[in-house]
Structure 1
Amino acid sequence: MPDFAFTSFGRVHGDPPHGSGLLVDLSEALHNPQADPAMRELTGLDPQVRRHVLATPGAEEIVERVVGRALALLPYSAPPDDPVNVFVCCQDGRHRSVAVAEECARRLRRCGFTAETAHRHIARGTR
């Protein structure tokens, strides 16, 4: 069982993940790559989208705070062997939420924790 389970999703799809955990809503935060025709059909797994999102002013602070809050919840996961769930959403669930979830998981792995990512709406089109 991983220490952390990150799930990205899009608010507009109306089917958020179930369960308890930390919710991070990026719907009004960070640069939205979907506005750029060159990135619209890409996802937060693509390096140019990831760079675009994480270069947004405030992105570093968001990632640091999410990682810190997730770590603070680790001693309270229930039962103790269940992962800390972190739900990261944006409008469509393809760009910002994916990039931030992946970056947070990457940083936790660098610290020796196990972290999984799942992206519920990455394959759905943008609106």
Structure 2
Amino acid sequence: MTSTDQPAGPALTITSFGYSHQPGEIAPHAHLTLDLRAHFKDPHVDPAMREMTGRDQEVITAVLSTPGIPALIAATLAAARAFCSGPSAGPLHIAAGCVGGRHRSYVVASALGTLLADLDPAVVHLHVDRPVICLPKPQS
């Protein structure tokens, strides 16, 4: 490989994951990491959506209508395009994480993949098929 050759693999990888499925609850290595746990309502709290995933329209609608999510997606799109237009642009990795990787992170990563389709991203969902995480009940 010469210095002008591009490395093999996708120029953009978008990964959804669940922090509770990661060793030490550490995010995968990425240039941009979106931690969706604390700032955005979790569809998991609705018993009707708990067993669903980001593949289900009810979850997609709930996540994309959450205040702040559309703005976060727009800001991430702008950041991704800025990274990819840099003079030494190389592969870019974006990671979106929530507690279990089944709802918020899946929907956000999928939306980014669709909106950045011109960059032919590899969209990877690490934990969407893992068991539902049992969250502790709030203390009263």
Q: Work out whether the TM-score is over 0.5.
A: yes
Shorter-chain TM-score tier: 0.7 to 0.9
Normalised by the size of structure 1, how large is the TM-score?
0.86
Secondary structure of 2:96's counterpart equals strand
Query: Which residue does 1:46 correspond to in 2?
Result: 56
Q: Any idea what SS the aligned residue of 1:24 has?
A: strand
Which residue number in structure 1 is paired with residue 127 of structure 2? Answer: 121
1:1-127 alignment runs, 5 A limit: 1-15=9-23, 16=26, 18-76=28-86, 80=90, 83-109=91-117, 112-126=118-132, 127=134
Question: Hey, what does 2:137 align to over in structure 1?
Answer: none
Deviations 1:33-78 (A, max 9, x none): 1111111111112111011000011111010011111111114597
RMSD between aligned residues: 2.0
Shift of 1:3: 3.0
Secondary structure class of the residue paired with 1:85:
strand
Relative to structure 1, is the Cα distance of residues 42 and 73 closer, same or farther in structure 2, using a 3 angstrom cutoff? same
Instruction: Supply the distance in 2 between the matched residues of 1:64 and 1:30 (Cα, whole angstroms).
Output: 16
Q: Following superposition, which runs of at least 4 residues in structure 1 exceed 2 angstroms of deviation?
A: 14-20, 75-80
Q: Give the drift of 1:14.
A: 2.6
Structure 2 length normalisation: TM-score?
0.78
Where do 5+ consecutive residues of structure 2 fail to align? 1-8, 135-140
- Shift of residue 29 of structure 1? 2.3
Residue by residue, what CA displacement relative to the aligned partner does 1:74-93 show, whole Å, maximum 9, x if unpaired?
1459773xx31001101111
Q: Which residue of 1 aligns with 2:3?
A: none
**Equivalent residues of 2:27, 2:33 under 8 A apart:** no
Farther-moved stretch of structure 1 (16-25 vs 45-54)? 16-25
Q: Aligned letter for 2:131?
A: G
Unaligned stretches of 5+ residues in structure 1: none
User: Percent identity between the aligned chains?
Assistant: 33
For 1:50 and 1:77, the matched residues in 2 are separated by 36
How many correspondences in the alignment?
123
Whether the aligned pair in 1 keeps the contact of 2:28 and 2:95 (CA below 8 Å) is no
| Distance (Å, rounded) in 2 between the aligned partners of 1:30 and 1:121 | 19
Given that residues 24 and 88 in structure 1 are in contact (C-alpha distance below 8 angstroms), is that contact kept between their aligned partners in structure 2? yes
Contact 1:3 1:115 in 2 (8 A): yes
